[in-house]
Amino acid sequence: MGDVADLQLDPHDRIVVRAATPDDYDAVADLTVTVYVGEGYVPATSEYAETLARTAQRAAATDVLVAVVGGCVVGSLTVARPPSPFAPIAQADEIEFRMLAVRRSARGLGIGTRLVRHVLDLAAEEGYRAVVISTDDAMVDARRIYLELGFVHVPERDWSPMPGVALTVLECVVSRERLR
């Protein structure tokens, strides 16, 4: 992978969304921790910060997707199917994604939207009824993407993984029409 520090993004650069390979795992871990910890969503000393850094372990139980521009990983998310421990809110007919992270220098280019659309398409292809995500009120940009793509709040499913952390559950019902 290229050196992200030297990455100059152009809105016309080709964005490739694909499954992460072992060669991507360090870049995914760095990106995800940088976004979640570096931007204040997760304390650096939390167990969740450690989970974010363990991409290889996550990839063994889920699908880790990356968005690549100019040979560099600029976005990632994790897709989990029940009964995976990485899908704590997904029901049997749902696919869940989490850990959406987009490099700050790549924001505004549609990378987060492309990654989430990929999940919606994947869910339709695999016959799932819906896609679900747990999100935090502070994640304003991500929530904007979710709402623009048709996710709706399902308040009866909101939950708290630990004291002081309140997560909002959003759901998007998918249809086979996505495949046309």
Q: 131-145 as b/e, with b when 16 or more CB fall inside 10 Å?
A: bbbbbeeebeebbeb
Dihedral angle of Cα 35, 116, 25, 30, to the nearest 10 degrees: -10
Structural tokens at position 12: 């016309």
- Residue corresponding to tokens 């490739």: 16
For residue 6, the model assigns a pLDDT of 45
Domain count, the chain: 1
Please give the full DSSP string across the chain, using - where no structure is assigned: ---GGG----TTSPEEEEE--GGGHHHHHHHHHHHHTTTTSS-TTSHHHHHHH-HHHHHHHSEEEEEEETTEEEEEEEEE-TT-TT-SS--TTEEEEEEEEE-GGGTTSSHHHHHHHHHHHHHHHTT-SEEEEEE-TT-HHHHHHHHHTT-EE-GGG-EEEETTEEEEEEEEE--GGGG-
For residue 8, the model assigns a pLDDT of 62
For residue 4, the model assigns a pLDDT of 44
The greatest distance separating any two alpha carbons of the chain, rounded to the nearest whole angstrom, comes to 45
CB within 8 A of 60, min separation 6: which ones? none
For residue 5, the model assigns a pLDDT of 45
Output the domain CATH number for residue 97.
Answer: 3.40.630.30
Q: How confident is the model at residue 13 (pLDDT cuts 50, 70, 90)?
A: confident
**pTM score, whole prediction:** 0.91
Mean pLDDT throughout 161-166? 88
Q: 79 lies in which domain range? A: 4-179
For residue 84, the model assigns a pLDDT of 95
Please give the full DSSP string across 97-144, using - where no structure is assigned: EEEEEE-GGGTTSSHHHHHHHHHHHHHHHTT-SEEEEEE-TT-HHHHH
